[in-house]
A and B are shown apart, each in its own frame.
Chain A
Amino acid sequence: MLRFTLRRLLIAALVALVVSAMSFGLMFLSGDPAFAIAGEGATEADLEVIRRHFGFDRPIPVQYAAWVTGVFAGDFGDSYYFSKPVVSLLAERFPATLKLGGLAILVALALSIPLAMLAAVRQNQLPDRLALGLGTIGQATPSFWLGLMLIWLFAVKLRWLPVSGSQTWAHFVLPAIVLGYYAAPSMLRLCRAGMIEALQSDYVRTARAKGMLPRQVLFGHAIRNAILPVVSVAAVEFGFILGGSVVVESVFGIRGIGLLAWESISRNDFPTIQAIILIYAMIYVWLTFLADVINAWLDPRIRVS
Chain B
Amino acid sequence: MSVLSLRGLTVTIQTPTGPFEAVRGVDLNVARGETVGIVGESGSGKSVTSLAIMRLLSPRVTVDATEMRLGDIDLRTLSERRMADLRGDRMAMIFQEPMTALNPVLTVGRQLTETWLRHRATGKREATERAVDLLDRVGIPRARARMNVYPHQLSGGLRQRVMIAMALLCDPDLLIADEPTTALDVTVQAQILDLLAGLQQERGLAMVFISHDIGVVARIAQRVQVMHGGRTVDAGPVGDLLTRPQHAYTRALLSAVPRRGMRWGRERLGAVEWSGDDEVTS
A and B touch in the complex (CB under 8 A): yes
Q: What CA separation (Å) do A5 and B87 show in the bound complex?
A: 46
Chain A, residue nearest B97 (CB) = A202
Which parts of A218-256 form the interface with B (CB within 8 Å)? 220-221, 224-225, 228
State whether A209 and B150 are in contact (beta carbons under 8 Å apart), knowing that A221-B103, A224-B105, A225-B104 are contacts in the complex: no
Question: What range describes how many residues of A lie at the interface?
Answer: 20 to 34
Q: Are B115 and A205 in contact (CB under 8 A)?
A: no
Q: What CA separation (Å) do A44 and B105 show in the bound complex?
A: 70
Q: Does A46 contact B (CB under 8 A)?
A: no
Q: Are B103 and A208 in contact (CB under 8 A)?
A: no
Q: Are B103 and A203 in contact (CB under 8 A)?
A: yes
A144 to chain B, nearest CB (A): 40
Q: Does B109 contact A (CB under 8 A)?
A: no
Complex contacts, A203 vs chain B, CB 8 Å: 100-104
1/0 per position for B88-120, CB-CB distance to A under 8 A? Answer: 110011010100111111100000001100110
Q: What CA separation (Å) do A216 and B153 show in the bound complex?
A: 25
Q: What CA separation (Å) do A221 and B185 show in the bound complex?
A: 29
Chain B, residue nearest A302 (CB) = B152
Q: Which one, A205, A224, A298, contacts B56 given CB within 8 A?
A: A205
Most buried by B among A203, A205, A298, A301: A203
Most buried by A among B84, B150, B167: B84
Complex contacts, A210 vs chain B, CB 8 Å: 87-88, 92, 114-115, 118, 166-167
Q: Does A158 contact B (CB under 8 A)?
A: no
Q: Which one, B106, B118, B152, contacts A221 given CB within 8 A?
A: B106
State whether A211 and B104 are in contact (beta carbons under 8 Å apart), knowing that A205-B56, A206-B95, A304-B150 are contacts in the complex: no
Which parts of A80-102 form the interface with B (CB within 8 Å)? none
Chain A, residue nearest B102 (CB) = A203
Complex contacts, A61 vs chain B, CB 8 Å: none
Q: Does A207 contact B (CB under 8 A)?
A: yes
Q: Which one, A211, A299, A300, contacts B118 given CB within 8 A?
A: A211
Q: Are A213 and B84 in contact (CB under 8 A)?
A: yes
Q: Does A212 contact B (CB under 8 A)?
A: yes
Complex contacts, A209 vs chain B, CB 8 Å: 54, 56, 87-88, 92-93, 95
Q: Which one, A206, A212, A304, contacts B102 given CB within 8 A?
A: A206
Q: What CA separation (Å) do A221 and B100 show in the bound complex?
A: 13
Most buried by A among B101, B102, B115, B166: B101
Which parts of A261-302 form the interface with B (CB within 8 Å)? 298-301
Complex contacts, A301 vs chain B, CB 8 Å: 104-105, 150, 152
Q: Does A305 contact B (CB under 8 A)?
A: yes
Q: What CA separation (Å) do A202 and B87 show in the bound complex?
A: 16
A295 to chain B, nearest CB (A): 12
Which parts of A191-207 form the interface with B (CB within 8 Å)? 201-203, 205-207
Complex contacts, A304 vs chain B, CB 8 Å: 150, 153
Chain B, residue nearest A301 (CB) = B152
A176 to chain B, nearest CB (A): 30
Which parts of B32-87 form the interface with A (CB within 8 Å)? 54, 56, 81, 84-87
State whether A300 and B97 are in contact (beta carbons under 8 Å apart), knowing that A208-B56, A211-B118 are contacts in the complex: no
Q: What CA separation (Å) do A203 and B118 show in the bound complex?
A: 17
Q: Which one, A212, A225, A228, A300, contacts B150 given CB within 8 A?
A: A300
Chain B, residue nearest A213 (CB) = B84
Complex contacts, A213 vs chain B, CB 8 Å: 81, 84, 118
Complex contacts, A224 vs chain B, CB 8 Å: 103, 105-106
Q: What CA separation (Å) do A210 and B100 show in the bound complex?
A: 15
Complex contacts, B115 vs chain A, CB 8 Å: 210-212
Complex contacts, A202 vs chain B, CB 8 Å: 95, 97, 100-101
Q: What CA separation (Å) do A253 and B248 show in the bound complex?
A: 83
Chain B, residue nearest A201 (CB) = B100
**A contacts, CB < 8 Å to B:** 201-203, 205-213, 216, 220-221, 224-225, 228, 298-301, 304-305
19 contacts between A and B (CB under 8 A): A202-B95, A203-B100, A203-B101, A203-B102, A206-B101, A206-B163, A208-B84, A210-B92, A210-B114, A211-B87, A211-B115, A211-B119, A213-B84, A221-B106, A224-B105, A225-B104, A300-B150, A301-B152, A304-B150
Known: A205-B101, A206-B95, A220-B106. 16 other contacts (CB 8 A): A202-B97, A203-B103, A206-B103, A208-B84, A208-B87, A209-B54, A209-B92, A210-B88, A210-B114, A211-B86, A212-B84, A216-B114, A220-B114, A224-B103, A298-B105, A301-B150
The 8 A-B residue pairs with the shortest CB-CB distance, nearest first, are A211-B88, A211-B87, A210-B88, A202-B100, A203-B103, A300-B150, A209-B93, A202-B101
